[in-house]
């Protein structure tokens, strides 16, 4: 019995170690987001660092996505390895707005907003979405 428990603990420790290493790799990949603007640079790091601590804080207040009532367009990239679809989909599900839309476009994390494919895919979609809401 003690051998089985030790084996389970060893597996759990290895999994925890892999998770921690993956988080550290993700943080290094997000270093380019070190902008002083909280919604741009601090949000991804805060989400990673604060996992399991009661939520993300911006300006000293806990963010409650249900309080977001403005229209939301959530665009994700099919091949985004920094923010995979399984991670991104929780955002739109938890936003409180009645006017929310999620769109998955072909491309990766950076090519979603930069380069020739962004000009053909994301920017026209954003223009259409904003145009429908602007008077």
Domain with 39, as residue range(s), is 1-63
**pTM reported for the whole predicted model:** 0.58
Are 43 and 9 part of one and the same domain? yes
Does residue 111 surpass a pLDDT of 70?
A: yes
How many domains does the chain divide into? 2
Are 72 and 135 part of one and the same domain? yes
Residue position matching structure tokens 């911006």: 58
Among 44, 63, 82, the domain boundary falls at 63
Are 53 and 37 part of one and the same domain? yes
Does residue 23 surpass a pLDDT of 70?
A: no
Tens digit of each residue's pLDDT (9 = 90 or more) over 27-80: 555 554 444 444 444 445 455 445 445 566 667 777 788 888 999 999 999 998
Among 43, 63, 83, the domain boundary falls at 63
Are 126 and 89 part of one and the same domain? yes
Tell me the C-alpha distance between 13 and 73, whole Å. 39
- pLDDT for 34 equals 46
- pLDDT for 25 equals 60
- pLDDT for 52 equals 47
User: To the nearest 10°, the Cα dihedral for 61, 64, 69, 75?
Assistant: 110
Are 13 and 29 part of one and the same domain? yes
More confident residue, 6 or 52: 6
- The terminus-to-terminus CA distance of the chain in angstroms comes to 70
Are 79 and 135 part of one and the same domain? yes
Residue 72, helix vs strand vs coil: strand
């Amino acid at each position: 019995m003690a051998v089985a428990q030790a084996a389970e603990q060893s597996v759990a420790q290895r999994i925890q170690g892999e998770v921690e290493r993956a988080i550290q790799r993700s943080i290094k990949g997000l270093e380019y987001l070190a902008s002083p603007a909280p919604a741009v640079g601090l949000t991804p790091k805060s989400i990673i660092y604060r996992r399991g601590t009661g939520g993300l804080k911006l300006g000293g207040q806990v963010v409650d996505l249900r309080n977001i009532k403005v229209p939301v367009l959530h665009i994700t990239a099919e091949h985004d390895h920094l923010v995979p679809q399984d991670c991104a989909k929780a955002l739109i599900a938890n936003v409180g707005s009645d006017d929310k839309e999620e769109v998955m476009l072909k491309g990766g994390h950076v090519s979603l907003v930069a380069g020739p494919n962004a000009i053909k895919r994301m920017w026209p979609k954003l223009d259409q979405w904003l145009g429908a809401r602007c008077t």
